[in-house]
C-alpha cells in the first residue's frame, strides 16, 4: 500500500475523531435543531411542496437543510430544488421539493434549521 494513502487515512481518522467531541459540545453548548415537515400532499408534474423551519425566539439561524420524499408513484422523482435561508422569514430555513415526474403523485418536504444561542458566538474570557 502506498505510504501517502496510509498517511492520509491516519490524518483523516484523527481529524474525524477530534471533531466528534466538538459536535457533542456544540449540541450541549447552545445549538438547537428545529425540524418541520409539510403534510403529504398530491402534486401535479412540475409543481412544488415546501416547508419552512424557524428558529425559536432569541436564537440565530446558522445553517439548515432540506429533504424531499415522494410517494404513490413519485418515489425518487421528487427533487430538492431549493434549500436556503427563507426569503420570507427571518431566522428560518426554506426547503422546496418539485415533482419531476410526468405524472402527479404525493410528496412531502422537510426543513431543518440549525439555531444557536447568542453566547455561542462570544469568545471565551481568558483567565
Cell numbers that stand for 9 in this block:
487515512
* Domain locations along the chain: 31-118
What is the helix (H) or strand (E) element at residue 16, kind and residue range? helix 3-28
Q: Greater confidence, 119 or 34?
A: 34
Q: What is the pTM of this model?
A: 0.69
Rounded CA gap, 47 and 34, in Å?
26
Residue range 43-71, pLDDT digits in tens? 999 999 999 999 999 899 999 999 999 88
Amino acid at each position: 500500500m502506498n505510504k501517502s494513502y496510509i498517511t492520509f487515512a491516519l490524518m483523516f481518522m484523527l481529524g474525524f475523531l477530534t471533531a466528534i467531541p466538538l459536535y457533542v459540545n456544540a449540541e450541549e453548548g447552545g445549538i438547537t435543531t428545529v425540524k418541520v415537515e409539510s403534510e403529504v400532499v398530491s402534486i401535479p408534474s412540475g409543481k412544488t411542496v415546501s416547508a419552512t423551519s424557524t428558529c425559536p425566539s432569541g436564537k440565530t439561524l446558522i445553517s439548515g437543510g432540506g429533504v424531499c420524499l415522494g410517494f404513490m408513484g413519485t418515489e425518487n422523482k421528487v427533487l430538492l430544488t431549493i434549500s436556503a435561508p427563507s426569503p420570507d422569514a427571518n431566522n428560518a430555513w426554506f426547503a422546496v421539493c418539485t415533482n419531476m415526474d410526468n405524472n402527479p403523485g404525493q410528496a412531502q418536504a422537510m426543513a431543518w434549521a440549525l439555531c444557536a444561542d447568542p453566547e455561542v458566538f462570544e469568545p471565551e474570557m481568558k483567565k
